[in-house]
Structure 1
């Protein structure tokens, strides 16, 4: 809680009304001298016990300069992750709980009343997968109800929703496809529910996560899995907290690429008035690259509304995407993907994508 981390709070002042106080290091917005930003990790056993992604994320936020942050919740792991450094152990993870169950039983409002979060990090849905009998629509309806309860408690709450980590087929034969279906639906659902006062940000915890190698039992993360989770949470949480933090390490020196790159564009989902897309950039050069850029132009008036795993801008019809720093370093043959949602009022032809390495 706050009292245990009071010495970490930076001293610069910022007046705060209904927005989350900025907490970025000296290169970003000014720090709040008032109450820390209250961040509630919400989930099931992957968040609860031991839920060591929370410790790793807390440490990464601190070392990157986001020191005016207080993890909150009615639960605590008591420092049981033993990562070798102090961390804020408060959370709202409940082993065995499902999103549909929490919503149906109205369990979230009292947790919110106790924790009073400014930001909620939600990794829920794993326990809604067993047996494949809960329809996707019911899961999304539960997500919508939970967000509504968050906003009832705090109209300016910022929500970061995870595309959840995968489940192995050995642990649950129907789960891999159901997890993929939920994760594919989350960006479009988030875009439709997000508001300027209470934005919903998507954190991609699914891409690059191995359900066998990164889990202990096909479901719960091992230390590598927790690290991957923290790494995937970090850029999304950093954006919500007020900007892009300074790098914590000096990027390794690389030899300038001597070849080219290849990029592919895929529409992964479509609905009335909008769609979800994904672009993959592959390093086809003979050397490791420090970064990449992808460019394409829409021809039917499509507009980007949200993007993840890249810094994406649109000027007129031209869309430019740059790596998110943590996924810019690609070995020869390696690839990185970013996703986005966009509006489309009529036809939705797929554009050609060009890319460049740096």
Structure 2
């Protein structure tokens, strides 16, 4: 038999085997590629604030759990800070910086770097507690809010921005003027948000203040306990799902 025909007979099954191996590798390669594409397509949500958001901010875990249970699976909580426990399996990435003032974050341009690192589509902002405690005027806090909104839109012109009327503080366990300061800030937020709102980048006010009892819902007059975390998550949920589509 001619040598070339013999080689063809030998190589024929090997060619089939090579094709099978190539197909198998293609399938195996498609799985991580599909996962990466799914992650890229996920709606990226940044929880932004101070210790009420991040230390440990267990309302985020409860909110994540509620979103998953309601069928919202294409989500990715993002932030440069890692999860901090809470005993619930959740995506714990966040931008809740304990002790931070929103005015300092705005003045120092800190949010710009966080946005570049995490690329959110939606921001949940509960920020200003430390500013009120520091006696910073309401107008100055709102100016800082405006700076952050401008930075968000510079990064993503269609950013969806949820801004909380912040939870109350007990004057007896925080500062003498803290209770009134929170009320003044919260009273001013709706008009501020209306002026900032656009169809392309909505600013939605989420009332975290009404019905929040510092005696029943905090452990120190400022930070939420388990009942407070549940209430905060319940308040975020409808507002967030309304912008998820």
TM range (shorter): 0.7 to 0.9
Query: Structure 1, residues 267-324: CA drift from partner, whole Å, max 9, x if none?
Result: xxxxxxxxxxxxxxxxxxxxxxxxxxxxxxxxxxxxxxxxxxxxxxxxxxxxxxxxxx
Note the C-alpha offset of 1:183.
0.7
Report the counterpart of residue 82 of structure 1 in structure 2. Answer: 87
Question: What runs of 5+ residues in structure 2 fail to find an aligned partner?
Answer: 1-31
1:63 aligns with 2:69: yes
Task: Return the match for 1:163 from 156, 165, 171.
Answer: 165
Contact 1:49 1:77 in 2 (8 A): no
Distance 1:131 1:113, change over 3 A: closer
Query: Structure 1, residues 88-143: CA drift from partner, whole Å, max 9, x if none?
Result: 010011000011110111111000000100000000000001142x1111010000
- TM-score, scaled relative to structure 2: 0.83
SS at match of 2:41: coil
Q: Would you say how many aligned residue pairs link Structure 1 and Structure 2? A: 210
Task: Return the match for 2:153 from 151, 154, 177.
Answer: 151
Report the counterpart of residue 138 of structure 2 in structure 1. Answer: 136
Alpha-carbon distance in structure 2 between the residues aligned to 1:225 and 1:138 = 28
**Mapping 1:189-268, distance limit 5 Å:** 189-242=192-245
RMSD: 1.6
Contact 1:124 1:164 in 2 (8 A): yes
Alpha-carbon distance in structure 2 between the residues aligned to 1:186 and 1:131 = 19
Query: Structure 1, residues 2-53: CA drift from partner, whole Å, max 9, x if none?
Result: x9xx69x7xxxxxxxxxxxxxxxxxxxxxxx961000000010111111001
Larger radius of gyration: 2
* Greater per-residue helix proportion: 2
Note the C-alpha offset of 1:149.
0.4
Task: Return the match for 1:92 from 86, 90, 95.
Answer: 95
Alpha-carbon distance in structure 2 between the residues aligned to 1:130 and 1:141 = 17
Note the C-alpha offset of 1:66.
1.1
Query: Structure 1, residues 130-165: CA drift from partner, whole Å, max 9, x if none?
Result: 142x11110100000000000011111100000011
Alpha-carbon distance in structure 1 between the residues aligned to 2:72 and 2:210 = 25
Q: Which has the higher contact order (CA 8 A, sep 6+)?
A: 2
Report the counterpart of residue 297 of structure 1 in structure 2. Answer: none
Distance 1:34 1:142, change over 3 A: closer
Contact 1:120 1:160 in 2 (8 A): yes
SS at match of 1:76: coil
Question: What runs of 5+ residues in structure 1 fail to find an aligned partner?
Answer: 10-32, 243-358
Contact 2:47 2:94 in 1 (8 A): yes
